[in-house]
């Protein structure tokens, strides 16, 4: 018998870890980086160090100049995110063959845990405060990408080319992606000026903008109060972010726009609850310890209100 207050179940944990909602993009935008403890340190680098060239000429008997690469220690800690799902004993006893009530509850709770992470990630990446002054703009109506007269490619390329680390990933809300793909100037670029109606493939845009990947946020989230009629909105709003993502970066090194510190893995277990109905039941818990961080603001560019709301 486990001595833990809430015993971990290897079977349910395997379900929680393996479960994937393919419409969610948080893990692609802010990749997970393992940390050894809940409280951890990460290094904040001065980007200017990598572009400052000292005198390298050396006399016949003189000593070469030396440089130091300094970094500031930043301390942070992961947060615990978890939810419980009650499974009455009657559901377990009356479950049909090949149906696992506890496993199904684990999947459903995992989905909500992941959706919560999606919302947190979008709030970080689509937050103008997380970008330096020169790396963001709030588009006026005339420049919004769903305006047929706008020229989004020119605006995007101009923004990306002036950055120290040119972004390699575009993060778009669904409405933003659709507007960009339907913009007449973009369609003309794809069709060779033969027409301005259509829907341009994302892969064409990826190559045109010299990006490694374009990720599109499609998830919906209910913003209504509990008990009220659901009000579904996109987790990723009408904005666009272009970020430099380094999949090899971690808390000790490597320049990247942001990452997600993860302590341990996602876990799941169940515990008896005698007060659930007449026969009691099991409470299934799924949780993880993570922290979404923007660690290099200079590596991102933000178009606020890229399309009309």
Residue 264 lies in a domain: yes
Task: Quote the pLDDT of residue 254.
Answer: 84
pLDDT at 186 over 90: yes
Between 238 and 20, the higher pLDDT residue: 238
Residue 48 lies in a domain: no
Interacting residues of 197 by C-beta distance below 8 A, sequence separation 6+:
184, 187
Percent of the chain having pLDDT more than 70? 89
Q: Any idea which of 137-141, 165-169, 187-191, 289-293 has the lowest mean pLDDT?
A: 187-191
Question: 72-94 pLDDT, tens per residue?
Answer: 778 889 999 999 999 999 888 88
Residue 2 lies in a domain: no
5 pLDDT band (50/70/90 cuts)?
low
Residue 54 lies in a domain: no
In the chain, alpha helices (H) = 10-18, 26-29, 89-93, 101-125, 152-161, 174-182, 184-191, 202-208
If 0-12 CB within 10 Å is exposed, 13-18 middle and 19+ buried, where does residue 164 land? middle
Q: What is the CATH number of the domain that holds 187?
A: 3.90.1690.10
Residue 156 lies in a domain: yes
Give the chain's radius of gyration (CA, Å). 24
pLDDT at 1 over 50: no
Between 207 and 43, the higher pLDDT residue: 207
pLDDT at 38 over 60: yes
Mean pLDDT of 120-136: 97
Residue 51 lies in a domain: no
For all residues of the chain together, what is the average pLDDT? 88
49 pLDDT band (50/70/90 cuts)?
low
Task: Quote the pLDDT of residue 19.
Answer: 60
Is the pTM for the entire model greater than 0.85?
yes
The secondary structure of 99-156, three-state, reads: CCHHHHHHHHHHHHHHHHHHHHHHHHHCCHHHCCHHHEEECCHHHCCCCCCCCHHHHH
pLDDT at 274 over 60: yes
Residue 52 lies in a domain: no
Residue 272 lies in a domain: yes
Domain region containing 288: 10-43+71-304
Question: 50-62 pLDDT, tens per residue?
Answer: 566 666 778 777 7
If one counts the domains in the chain, the total is: 1
């Amino acid at each position: 018998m486990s001595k833990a207050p809430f015993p971990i179940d290897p079977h349910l944990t395997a379900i929680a870890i393996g479960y994937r909602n393919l419409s969610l993009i948080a893990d692609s935008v802010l990749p997970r980086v393992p940390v050894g403890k809940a409280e951890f340190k990460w290094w904040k680098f001065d980007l200017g160090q990598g572009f400052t060239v000292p005198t390298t000429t050396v006399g016949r008997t003189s000593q070469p100049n030396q440089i130091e690469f300094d970094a500031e220690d930043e301390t942070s800690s992961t947060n615990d995110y978890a939810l419980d799902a009650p499974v009455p004993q009657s559901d377990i006893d009356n479950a049909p063959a090949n149906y696992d009530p506890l496993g199904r509850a684990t999947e459903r709770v995992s989905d909500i845990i992941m959706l919560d992470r999606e919302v947190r990630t979008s709030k970080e990446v689509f937050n103008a405060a997380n970008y330096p002054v020169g790396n963001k703009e709030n588009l006026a109506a005339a420049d919004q990408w769903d305006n047929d007269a706008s020229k989004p490619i020119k605006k995007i390329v101009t923004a990306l080319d002036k950055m120290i680390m040119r972004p390699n990933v575009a993060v778009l809300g669904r409405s933003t992606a659709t507007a960009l793909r339907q913009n007449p100037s973009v369609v003309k670029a794809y069709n060779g000026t033969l027409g301005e109606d259509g829907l341009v493939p994302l892969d064409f845009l990826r190559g045109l903008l010299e990006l490694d990947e374009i990720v599109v946020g499609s998830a919906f989230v209910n913003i209504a109060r509990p008990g009220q009629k659901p009000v579904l909105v996109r987790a990723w709003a009408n904005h666009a972010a272009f970020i430099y993502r380094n999949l090899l970066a971690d808390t000790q090194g490597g320049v990247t726009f942001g990452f997600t510190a993860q302590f341990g893995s996602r876990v799941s277990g169940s515990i008896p609850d005698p007060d659930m109905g007449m026969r009691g039941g099991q409470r299934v818990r799924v949780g993880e310890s993570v922290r979404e961080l923007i660690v290099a603001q200079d590596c991102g560019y933000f178009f606020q209100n890229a399309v009309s709301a």
